[in-house]
Amino acid sequence: MEIFTKKSDQLIASPEAGQSQGMQRRQFLRYAGVGTAAVGLFAAEACKKDRNNYKGVYLGSGDVGILNYAYALEQLEAQFYINVVSNSAFATQFSADEQLLITEVRNHEVLHREFFKAALAGNAIPSLNFNFSAINFGTRASVLAAAKAFEDLGVSAYNGAGYLIQNPTYLVLAGKIVSVEARHAAYFRDLISPNTFVGQDVVNVSQNGLEYDKTPQYVLGMASAYITTPINADDLPTS
Amino acid sequence: MDLLNIIEEIEKVDPEFQDKISPRRAAIKNITSFGSKVAVAAMPFALGSLFKKAYAQQSSSSIVGVLNYALQLEFLEANFYNAGLTSASFAAMKTTLTATELAGLTLIQTDENNHVKFLQTVITSLGGTPVSFTPANFDFTAQGTFPSVYTSSDTWLAVAETFEDTGVRAYKGQATNLIRNKTVLTAALDIHSVEARHASHLRMLRRARMLTAGMSSTAAIRPWITGANDTGIAAVNASYAGEDNVMQGGVNVATGLSAYNTIAGANATTSATQAFDEPLDMQTVVGIVTPFFKK
């Protein structure tokens, strides 16, 4: 089952394709601006205009922007698992052992969400709205496919944003969280199909054993299939 | 608690702290100070050279040091799987693994050997000399601590799991030494999460065996780390020391976040220790793995 099907223009054929698609308008303009003075001036104007016209929750810039980006993704995951565990089908679709572990996953994600909210304090974005109608919470297969997709996306997001973090304390905190997301991802993948914990869709198995990381632009594009609140990520750091 | 205020607090004691940790901000500050005099057309070039200067934080020799440390750990892991899955001396152990278990372990073996090759290439491309080990360099009994590693897959899987969990902690512990380095930090993170996937898988293999043996669902090991050393093996205490930490960024996350406590209830502390993996410094990790290298 394909989880991120709502926005057909965001669908990708391969993990590598996602990397290049992640370079969107703003980055393009930045590169273009290096070329000539005239383009540089236009680029600056275009950026300003765009941002003023953009409606949505503003993530901010610098480390605050990256932490809000992580907070948005943790909000998505937390709400998803709250829905999973509170659904009446949870007790029938999953074994007692699976219920124990998935309930723990819910706790982890709620804690990640609340941790970022507390860490960001006055800089935190508000609670986002979600639309999970593409997921059938009454069936095991739909829930597991969504869990896998959210966890894989989360890992690729933290991996791709790590170098943008300036403060070492936040970098370590992101590192403490991403490996737990990877543990979740491996668990769900193996539940769906044994020995898919390092599938070639997420890890470059044939060449170097590295996980595919993703840009914030790519990740937010994918997540927007579920986050209905518009998000303004224009000022997230890109280098 | 406002985590972002930590910087302000430190700046009171060390006014240059911001510039030390954040060269980019310093670069921007310098630009704005003469910004009005610089033509907009020249800005991209001014930015380029200033950023290049600001980002040359880590010397290539310090990066090579971190990468050689990572390479040594990857050699340990790769050789462990190579020996366990292909060496005659581990044949007795191998017969106690199921076909499904073997298939998954072979995937891990491939990843670890690829990590070795990848790190060797990166170190060489940075002008460094990669460390090198052969199968003869290793003692997987850890000088007698795990004598049954050749015959018991229970023991062998436990050692494998400890290597993976320790590897996750080791990479995490080096993140700040690679901060802001797009290429090397990102590569390290991309390996770090793969090690965590391995650890999760190995833990589920062991969990299945524990449940089959009659252990309760709450007592058996999870894909994530619960408290300080949930492996049931005292000899690996050092690999898990500190994993019971619940203080994150100055917040006691087990008790200080009410919305979390409402949902997690009686399991708040257990889940809080699981929700954050802790880093380990180089010295500690080297101490842990030294017994696995022959003297």
β-bridge partners, B293: B138
B241 interfacial to chain A (CB closer than 8 Å): no
Percent of chain A topping pLDDT 70: 77
Nearest chain A residue to B245 by CA: give it.
A176
Does the pLDDT at position A22 exceed 90?
no
Does the pLDDT at position A41 exceed 90?
no
| Contact between A213 and A40 (Cβ < 8 Å) | no
pLDDT band with cut points at 50, 70 and 90 for residue A217: very high
Q: Cα dist. A194→A188, A191, B102, B224, B268 in Å?
A: 10, 6, 12, 18, 30
- A-B Cβ pairs (cutoff 8 Å, strict): 253
User: Considering only CA atoms, which of A151, A183, A107, A109 is closest in space to residue B277?
Assistant: A183
Average pLDDT over all residues of chain A: 85
Q: How many Å apart are CA B237 and CA B239, to the nearest integer?
A: 5
Does the pLDDT at position A21 exceed 70?
no
Does the pLDDT at position A140 exceed 50?
yes
pLDDT band with cut points at 50, 70 and 90 for residue A4: low
Does the pLDDT at position B236 exceed 90?
yes
Q: How many Å apart are CA B267 and CA B261, to the nearest integer?
A: 9
Please tell me the predicted confidence (pLDDT) of residue B219: 96
Which helix H or strand E contains A118, and what residues bound it?
Answer: helix A96-120
> What domains can you pick out in chain B, each with its CATH number?
3-53 (no CATH), 60-225+280-292 (1.20.1260.10)
What tens digit of pLDDT does each residue of B179-212 get? 999 999 999 999 999 999 999 999 999 999 999 9
For chain A, the structural domain boundaries read: 15-232
Least confident stretch, A29-33, A125-129, B118-122: A29-33
3-state secondary structure of B206: helix
Least confident stretch, A123-127, A235-239, B57-61, B254-258: B57-61
| Contact between A36 and A200 (Cβ < 8 Å) | no
Please tell me the predicted confidence (pLDDT) of residue A47: 44
Please tell me the predicted confidence (pLDDT) of residue B61: 83
3-state secondary structure of B180: coil
Least Cα separation, residue A228 to chain B (angstroms): 23
DSSP single-letter state for residue A61: S
Q: Which residues of A1-36 are buried (b: 16+ CB within 10 A; e: fewer)?
A: eebbeeeeebebeebeebbebbebebeebbeebeee
Closest residue to B176, CB basis, from A115, A168, A186: A168
| Mean pLDDT confidence for A168-196 | 98
Please tell me the predicted confidence (pLDDT) of residue A2: 57
Q: For residues B242, B248, B254 and B260, what is the CA-based torsion angle, rounded to 10 degrees?
A: -140
Please tell me the predicted confidence (pLDDT) of residue B56: 45
Please tell me the predicted confidence (pLDDT) of residue B186: 98
Q: How many Å apart are CA A105 and CA A180, to the nearest integer?
A: 9
For A232, phi then psi, to 5°, come to: -100, 105
Q: Do B172 and A176 touch (CB under 8 A)?
A: yes
Tokens representing A69 are 């980006």
What tens digit of pLDDT does each residue of B79-102 get? 999 999 999 999 999 999 999 999
Determine which of B1, B3, B29, B206 to mutate to test the interface with A (most A C-beta atoms within 10 Å): B3
ipTM: 0.82
Please tell me the predicted confidence (pLDDT) of residue B46: 36
